[in-house]
A and B are shown apart, each in its own frame.
Chain A
Amino acid sequence: GAVVSQHPSRVICKSGTSVKIECRSLDFQATTMFWYRQFPKKSLMLMATSNEGSKATYEQGVEKDKFLINHASLTLSTLTVTSAHPEDSSFYICSAGLAGVETGELFFGEGSRLTVL
């Protein structure tokens, strides 16, 4: 199957700093990537859809100035949590689908656990 790599897997930062998370499709090109957030024992919450070469589409309630998404190439999307606060601590996961695959299954990155002190 397709491989999606996410980095870093864990990051601890001080309140007020910004953190960048990278999501790469290693063996395929992804025009669209999805960024999710997951709280403990909760479901995946779609934050935004990242579109290569254009602006991301954010879900209702997600602050676009807070969570900056850039999809500059067909293999890389980045999520930057700006001016992070403790409530931003969470598990962030990216995913991408393979074009032309009937099932439309998603391939997920390893996830990034952010802890804001």
Chain B
Amino acid sequence: GQNIDQPTEMTATEGAIVQINCTYQTSGFNGLFWYQQHAGEAPTFLSYNVLDGLEEKGRFSSFLSRSKGYSYLLLKELQMKDSASYLCAVKDSNYQLIWGAGTKLIIKP
């Protein structure tokens, strides 16, 4: 079956750096997405990786290794507003989005 694994919850300190990992086993691969979802709100797009390597966008970076079925989202200079759930999603060979359960990130002062 298809599976996306990411930690359920992580805690980090304001101003620090945190890395959220995502591993996947899917039938084919057509890109990996990271979305941010604040409690009670809809997800918003953060990043997209289709080739191996690091994509940097401001304080957020996303890395992909297709051979390892692995990605991470790196958040730098953490702010309190970064407290949210971070969802990893993969497009399979049918271009269907397979969603992870999300990682709840708690930022402490």
Contact = CB atoms under 8 A, between A and B. Distances in A.
Pairing of A with B: yes
Contacts, number: 49
Size bracket of the B interface = 20 to 34
Interface string A81-107: 000000000010101000000011111
Given A43-B87, A105-B48, A111 B40 contact: yes
B72 to A, nearest CB: 18
A42 B42 CA distance: 13
Interface in B79-109: 87, 91, 95-97, 99-102, 104
Given A43-B4, A46-B99, A103-B33, 9 more contacts: A6-B42, A43-B87, A45-B99, A46-B96, A93-B43, A104-B48, A105-B45, A106-B45, A111-B40
Interface of A: 1, 6, 41-46, 91, 93, 95, 103-111, 113
14 contacts: A42-B101, A43-B99, A43-B102, A44-B87, A45-B99, A46-B96, A91-B40, A103-B33, A103-B45, A104-B48, A106-B97, A108-B43, A109-B42, A111-B40
Interface of B: 4, 31, 33, 40-45, 48, 87, 91, 95-97, 99-102, 104
